[in-house]
């Protein structure tokens, strides 16, 4: 299933459940697909994960300075972006739209593939805001009706597999077109 995620098409909304630093290769491969195709790769991630993915992309031969300056690689901080639209522990739909639609609109004007990786949902889940994470997945699906892009979300396996989350995990999986687990026991 990881190959299906890496080779995403517009409209795909995939999720990966990961252990530790396994995330870099899947996210890097996913974003590289857009960059190599002359498209736009958008990463909305924590500093640590951006570091891992950037290192993976550089090892794959991507000149990060060039792709960032020409708009092919858009880097957003997950926590800062989240703080722009999560109010009172709940995502505000209008603020979400105002935060992310300019990025997607600019990418869409280039008429090339757009791939987004985001982990704000994992930040919400890990903060105990599981219903907010599920609502954010729904907001992304609404945004996908307006803009042509594929989206890859990621959750740490340990977080979603904790006792008591089976119904919420089923809702998360139901909000996606594909899912994959990485590593042992996934």
Over residues 97-115, the pLDDT tens digits come to 999 999 999 998 888 899 9
Residue 138 belongs to a domain: yes
Rounded CA-CA distance 12/5 in Å is: 8
Which of 25-29, 100-104, 153-157, 170-174 has the least mean pLDDT? 170-174
- The answer as to whether 121 is a domain residue is yes
Confidence of residue 4 (pLDDT cuts 50, 70, 90): low
In a domain, 123, yes or no: yes
Query: Is residue 3 one of the residues assigned to a domain?
Result: no
* Rg from Cα positions in the chain: 15
pLDDT one-digit tens code per residue, 31-59: 999 999 999 999 999 999 999 999 999 99
Does residue 179 register a pLDDT over 80? no
Token look-up 């989240």 returns 82
Residue 113: half-sphere exposure toward Cβ, Cα within 13 Å: 19
**Total domains in the fold of the chain:** 1
pTM: 0.92
Residue 161 lies in a domain: no
Residue 84 lies in a domain: yes
Mean pLDDT of 139-163: 91
* Residue 1: inside a domain: no
- Per the domain annotation, does 166 fall within a domain? no
* Predicted pLDDT at 182: 45
Structural domain including 76 reads 8-151+174-181
pLDDT (mean) for 149-164: 88
Q: What is the pLDDT of residues 74-91, one digit of tens each?
A: 999 999 999 999 999 999
Strand 178-181 with 90-91, pairing: unpaired
19 in Cβ contact with 181 (< 8 Å):
no
């Amino acid at each position: 299933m990881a190959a299906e995620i890496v080779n995403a098409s517009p409209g795909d909304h995939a999720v990966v459940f990961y252990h530790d630093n396994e995330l870099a290769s899947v996210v890097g491969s996913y974003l590289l697909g857009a960059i190599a195709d002359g498209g736009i790769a958008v990463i909305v991630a924590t500093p640590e994960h951006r570091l891992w993915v950037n290192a993976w992309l550089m090892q794959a031969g991507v000149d990060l300075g060039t792709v960032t300056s020409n708009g092919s690689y858009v880097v957003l901080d997950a926590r800062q972006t989240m703080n722009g639209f999560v109010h009172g522990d709940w995502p505000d739909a209008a603020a979400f739209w105002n935060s992310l639609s300019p990025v997607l609109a600019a990418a869409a004007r280039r008429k090339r593939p757009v791939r987004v990786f985001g982990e704000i949902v994992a930040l919400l889940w890990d903060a105990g805001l599981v219903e907010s994470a599920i609502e954010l997945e729904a907001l992304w699906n609404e945004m996908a009706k307006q803009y042509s892009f594929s989206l890859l979300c990621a959750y740490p396996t340990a977080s979603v597999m904790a006792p008591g989350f089976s119904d919420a995990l089923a809702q998360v999986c139901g909000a996606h077109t594909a899912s994959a687990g990485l590593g042992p026991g996934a």
